[in-house]
Structure 1
């Protein structure tokens, strides 16, 4: 049976990266400057699925980043195997006083069986966060950064301010029982969520996601 790697027919971005036996071993990569490198594990648990895998890193403006090198950038991925991507910083462009956000892109193109006609092949593109943590910061303070978020009303709107040098990844953010999609708060930034209820106190209930993808306990704030 002859197999060849097909051209990309369809790209699918997944929140939890997994597709027909292909998956990523984690939901985010934390690059600690002190470690001088980071890794991302890839898994092919399929019985007979072969893939051509391409990997690269983008900045927040969706452009390929020149701040990191990822190896191997292209490789064949065989069934029932695992592989590890190695990520190394190759520039000093990231700030030293705060975390920086990038995105790891991993595209898996399935092999096609040349003996089968009229078969549609799908490629998957998984995107996860890469958080660069300079040596002046630490994991403990990153976990506790959620406690320092400031939530207040400004001109009738609910504003969430992150006064810390850490990226705070939000899991759920409920305003009076309604979940608002915040995603994350960059260091020293703020987001306006929605208008608060006029003349009444608003109840905010939220949690955060840690370095390992786990959710914290909920915090409740009345404003």
Structure 2
């Protein structure tokens, strides 16, 4: 095995080739309606030559592995220039989830490159990469339309060198490129449902301008929250 590759722990200067994953997930977030039996997520391998091993799992909101989900297949080989589908099934007790707001989990996919295409005389740094995306369990009475309009209900105020952003909605709010007076005060903020977040800044203005990440991973740009 040592003839096939040099372990990551060895100096990078000894390596002649560095392999990074050509594997990507088909979405930046998953919306899982509580009433659904399962949701799916596509996995793509854009590398035209190499196969990869993909391992996936789910953690809770504090990033601890949870047994409330089953992912199939949990471990598989994705061949060069192909795609596959992950099926995510919630197996926990749905009665334990809030009925009035979303619940947050995270889906991880670890990508490990194959050594099969390395010849015995070639040294290489094999890099495993891990993707992490948000998984929102959404009560059945909450609609996509409401989620898309939820950012309009944010309330902002300025005090003690920080901006307080209140989220009175049942949705997780993901804001990026937050600006005051056209100066960025934060790169990204996630505000839980019916909760608030603070952004430290000495910049004062009449409004907080932000982009919101929608259910589809797109940015709804240049929204305003009066200060």
Conserved? CA contact 1:69–1:89, under 8 Å: yes
Map 1:142-161; keep pairs closer than 5 Å.
142-161=147-166
CA RMSD of aligned residues (A): 2.4
1:96 matched residue in structure 2 = 99
User: Does 1:182 find its partner at 2:188?
Assistant: yes
The 3-state SS of whatever aligns with 1:217 is strand
Match among 95, 107, 110 for residue 107 of structure 1: 110
User: Does 1:85 find its partner at 2:86?
Assistant: yes
Normalised TM-score (structure 2): 0.84
Map 1:12-91; keep pairs closer than 5 Å.
20-91=21-92
Normalised TM-score (structure 1): 0.85
Tell me: CA distance 1:79–1:103, structure 2 relative to 1, closer, same or farther (3 Å).
same
Structure 2 residue ranges without an equivalent (≥5): 10-19
What is the rounded CA distance, in whole Å, between the counterparts of 1:100 and 1:8 in structure 2? 39
2:208 matched residue in structure 1 = 204
How many residues align? The count is: 210
Conserved? CA contact 1:23–1:43, under 8 Å: yes
Query: Shift of the alpha carbon at 1:69?
Result: 1.2
Query: Shift of the alpha carbon at 1:161?
Result: 0.4
Cα deviations by residue, 1:70-129 (Å, 9 ceiling, x for unpaired): 111101111121110001111123212110111110001001125243211111111111
What is the rounded CA distance, in whole Å, between the counterparts of 2:129 and 2:178 in structure 1? 29
Query: Shift of the alpha carbon at 1:204?
Result: 1.3
The 3-state SS of whatever aligns with 2:187 is coil
Structure 1 residue ranges without an equivalent (≥5): 11-18
